[in-house]
C-alpha cells in the first residue's frame, strides 16, 4: 500500500495500536506525553514527511505537519484529531482523523496540487484527559483559550506533574499558551472521526455529517464517611461512603433516563477507599458526566443530580465535595462548511448525507473558538468505541478519504 487509501489508513491505525505505540500489554493505552506518545509522534511525523509536509511539535506537545500553499503566508485549513487514547481503548478513536488528514495531504502531494491555502494536519496530545485531570488541554492551547494550567497537576498514576511531563519533551509548562494560533489566518478546522454511536450502521450508511456537538459537564465528586470494621459497626451507625455513592449513581441514571434533547448521565469512574472486603468504605471518589444537545437541558439535569447528591450526603452523614472538571458548551458546526461536507458526502456516496448531533466531545468543540469547524463521521461496527472492539472497514474509510479530498476541492472553489 504505497499510495493514499482507506486500507492504508486502517492499517496505519492498527500499527499504532501496539507496542511501542501503546503502554498497555495486550491492549491500547497511549497517554499524553508518555513513551508511547513520543513513539507515535515520531511515526506520524515520518508519514507526514513522506506526504510532503514539514513537521514540528508546538509548545503544548501537539504534532503539526504543514503542506504549503501557493504562497508562504497563505491562510491555513487545519485537518486532524487527537493522538492520545483512553485506557484499553480502540485503534481508531482520534487516530483515524489524524491519519486521514495525512492521507488527504498525501493525495494532493502525489500530483503536486497546491491551494491558495496551506493544509496543516494536527495531532492533538490530550483530548481524552486520560493522563491528567483536564481533557482537551492541548486544543484549548491552540485555540488560544487555555487558562493557566497548574504546573503541579499530577497525573492519575501519581508518577509525574504536568510540568515534568512537558519538560521530558523539552517543553515548558509556562509557555504552553504560546501554542495559540490566535491571530493566525486559520480559515477552517476539519475533523474526521468514527461516529462512536450506532446511527450510521442502523441506516446502512458509511458516512455522516455533524451539525453540532453536545454540551457537557463533568464533575469529580468526593464523599467522606467513616471507615470501620465490617463486622462490628452496626448498620444504623454507619457512614458508608460507597452506599451513598451508589444511591447518587442511581439518581443520576434516573435523571438521564427521564430527560429529552439527547440527555445522558454517566458515572464512569469510581475509587473506593480503603478498598478492603472487611472494611466499611470511608471515602469514595467518582465522576458524573452530563451531556445534552443544549446547554439549558444539560444545566437543568446537572443541578437536579447535584441537588439529589447533597440530600443523600446530608441524610447519610457524609461530607461531599464537588469539582467541575469539564465545562463544554454545545457547539454548532459552521453552516457553510457543513453544507460543503454534505455535498462532498453526497458526491462520494451518491446519496444525501445523514446529519447527526455528536453526543461525544471532540477537539472541534474547542477549535470553534478559533475558526469555523466541520466534522465528518465514519461508521463504526456496533457503534462501539473506547473499547478494543472498535472497528471500521477499509471501504468506509476509503469513502471518508474521498469525501475529505472532495471537500477540500469544494472549499477551494468557495474560498476563491
Task: Identify whether residues 202 and 221 lie together within a single domain.
Answer: no
93 is in an annotated binding site: yes
CATH number of residue 407's parent domain = 3.40.630.10
Mean pLDDT of 221-235: 97
Task: Identify whether residues 167 and 244 lie together within a single domain.
Answer: no
- With a threshold of 0.75, does the pTM exceed it? yes
Task: Return the closest-CA partner of residue 100 out of 8, 14, 211.
Answer: 8
Residue 26 confidence (pLDDT) above 90: no
Tens of pLDDT, residues 130-158:
899 888 999 999 999 998 889 999 998 88
Q: Do 291 and 263 meet the contact criterion of CB atoms below 8 Å apart?
A: yes
Q: Is residue 221 part of a domain?
A: yes
193 is in an annotated binding site: yes
Domain boundary among 291, 326, 361: 326
Partners of 290 in beta bridges = 217, 265
Task: Identify whether residues 220 and 109 lie together within a single domain.
Answer: no
Tens of pLDDT, residues 55-101:
999 999 999 999 999 999 999 999 999 999 999 999 999 999 999 99
Confidence band of 329 (pLDDT split at 50, 70, 90)? confident
Mean pLDDT of 123-136: 91
386 is in an annotated binding site: yes
Partners of 208 in beta bridges = 377
Torsion sign over Cα 254, 258, 262, 263: negative
Domain boundary among 326, 357, 381: 326
Task: Identify whether residues 32 and 149 lie together within a single domain.
Answer: yes
CA distance 214 to 193: 15
How buried is 305 (Cβ within 10 angstroms: 0-12 exposed, 13-18 middle, 19+ buried)?
Answer: buried
For residue 1, the model assigns a pLDDT of: 66
For residue 19, the model assigns a pLDDT of: 95
Task: Identify whether residues 109 and 195 lie together within a single domain.
Answer: yes
Output the average pLDDT for the chain. Answer: 96
Q: Is residue 44 part of a domain?
A: yes
Domain boundary among 305, 326, 347: 326
Q: Do 179 and 138 meet the contact criterion of CB atoms below 8 Å apart?
A: yes
Cis peptide preceding 356, ω within 30 of 0 = no
Phi, psi of 361 (to 5 degrees): -80, 155
2 is in an annotated binding site: no
Confidence band of 2 (pLDDT split at 50, 70, 90)? confident
350 is in an annotated binding site: no
Q: Is residue 408 part of a domain?
A: yes
Residue 217 confidence (pLDDT) above 70: yes
| 172-175: long-range contacts, CB 8 A cutoff, minimum separation 24 | 172/59, 173/149, 175/59
218 is in an annotated binding site: yes
For residue 416, the model assigns a pLDDT of: 72
Task: Identify whether residues 197 and 248 lie together within a single domain.
Answer: no
Partners of 120 in beta bridges = 66, 78
For residue 298, the model assigns a pLDDT of: 96
Task: Identify whether residues 299 and 409 lie together within a single domain.
Answer: no
The DSSP line for 126-143 is -SS-SSSS-TTHHHHHHH
Mean pLDDT of 163-192: 96
Q: The domain containing residue 411 runs over which residues? A: 6-213+330-415
Q: Do 364 and 372 meet the contact criterion of CB atoms below 8 Å apart?
A: no
Q: Is residue 86 part of a domain?
A: yes
Total Cβ atoms within 10 A of residue 276: 11
Residue-wise over 92-111: b if at least 16 C-beta within 10 A, else e?
bbbbbbbbbbbbbbbbbbee
Task: Identify whether residues 193 and 231 lie together within a single domain.
Answer: no
**C-alpha grid cell, residue 330:** 454545545
329 Cβ partners below 8 Å, 6+ apart?
215, 295, 365
Task: Identify whether residues 239 and 306 lie together within a single domain.
Answer: yes
Q: Is residue 258 part of a domain?
A: yes
Confidence band of 38 (pLDDT split at 50, 70, 90)? very high
Task: Identify whether residues 345 and 317 lie together within a single domain.
Answer: no
295 is in an annotated binding site: no
Q: Is residue 234 part of a domain?
A: yes
Q: Is residue 1 part of a domain?
A: no
Q: Is residue 25 part of a domain?
A: yes
369 is in an annotated binding site: no
Q: What is the domain count for the chain?
A: 2
Q: What 3-state class would DSSP assign to 80?
A: strand
Q: Do 179 and 370 meet the contact criterion of CB atoms below 8 Å apart?
A: no
Residue 370 confidence (pLDDT) above 70: yes
**C-alpha grid cell, residue 140:** 484549548
Amino acid at each position: 500500500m504505497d499510495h493514499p487509501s482507506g486500507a492504508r489508513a486502517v492499517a496505519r491505525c492498527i500499527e499504532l495500536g501496539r507496542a511501542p505505540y501503546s503502554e498497555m500489554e495486550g491492549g491500547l493505552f497511549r497517554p499524553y506525553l508518555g513513551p508511547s506518545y513520543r513513539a507515535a509522534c515520531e511515526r506520524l511525523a515520518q508519514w507526514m514527511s513522506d506526504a510532503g509536509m514539514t513537521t514540528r511539535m508546538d509548545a503544548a506537545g501537539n504534532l503539526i505537519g504543514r503542506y504549503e500553499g501557493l504562497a508562504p503566508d497563505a491562510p491555513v485549513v487545519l485537518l486532524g484529531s487527537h493522538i492520545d487514547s483512553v485506557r484499553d481503548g480502540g485503534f481508531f478513536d482520534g487516530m483515524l482523523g489524524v491519519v486521514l488528514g495525512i492521507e488527504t495531504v498525501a493525495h494532493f502531494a502525489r500530483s503536486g496540487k497546491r491551494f491558495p491555502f496551506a493544509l496543516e494536519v494536527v495531532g492533538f496530545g490530550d483530548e481524552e484527559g486520560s493522563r491528567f485531570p483536564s481533557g482537551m488541554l492541548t486544543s484549548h492551547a491552540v485555540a488560544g483559550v487555555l487558562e493557566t494550567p497548574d504546573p503541579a497537576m499530577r497525573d492519575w498514576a501519581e508518577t509525574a506533574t504536568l510540568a515534568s511531563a512537558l519538560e521530558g519533551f523539552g517543553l515548558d509548562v509556562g509557555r504552553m499558551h504560546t501554542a495559540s494560533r490566535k491571530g493566525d489566518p486559520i480559515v477552517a478546522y476539519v475533523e474526521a472521526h468514527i461516529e462512536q454511536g450506532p446511527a450510521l450502521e442502523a441506516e446502512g450508511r458509511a458516512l455522516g455529517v455533524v451539525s453540532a456537538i453536545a454540551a457537557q459537564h463533568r464533575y469529580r465528586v468526593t464523599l467522606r464517611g467513616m471507615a470501620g470494621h465490617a463486622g462490628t459497626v452496626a448498620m444504623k451507625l454507619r457512614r458508608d461512603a460507597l452506599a451513598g455513592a451508589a444511591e447518587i449513581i442511581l439518581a443520576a441514571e434516573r435523571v438521564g433516563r427521564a430527560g429529552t434533547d439527547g440527555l445522558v448521565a454517566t458515572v464512569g469512574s469510581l475509587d473506593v477507599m480503603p478498598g478492603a472486603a472487611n472494611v466499611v468504605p470511608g471515602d469514595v471518589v467518582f465522576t458524573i458526566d452530563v451531556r445534552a444537545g443544549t446547554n439549558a437541558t444539560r444545566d437543568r439535569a446537572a443541578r437536579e443530580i447535584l441537588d439529589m447528591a447533597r440530600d443523600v450526603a446530608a441524610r447519610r452523614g457524609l461530607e461531599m465535595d464537588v469539582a467541575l472538571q469539564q465545562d463544554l458548551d454545545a457547539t454548532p458546526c459552521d453552516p457553510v462548511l457543513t453544507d460543503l461536507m454534505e455535498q462532498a458526502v453526497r458526491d462520494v456516496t451518491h446519496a444525501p448525507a445523514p446529519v447527526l448531533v455528536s453526543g461525544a466531545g471532540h477537539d472541534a468543540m474547542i477549535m470553534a473558538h478559533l475558526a469555523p469547524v466541520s466534522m465528518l463521521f465514519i461508521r463504526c461496527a456496533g457503534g462501539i468505541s473506547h473499547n478494543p472492539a472498535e472497528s471500521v472497514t477499509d471501504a468506509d474509510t476509503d469513502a471518508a478519504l474521498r469525501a475529505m479530498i472532495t471537500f477540500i476541492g469544494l472549499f477551494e472553489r468557495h474560498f476563491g
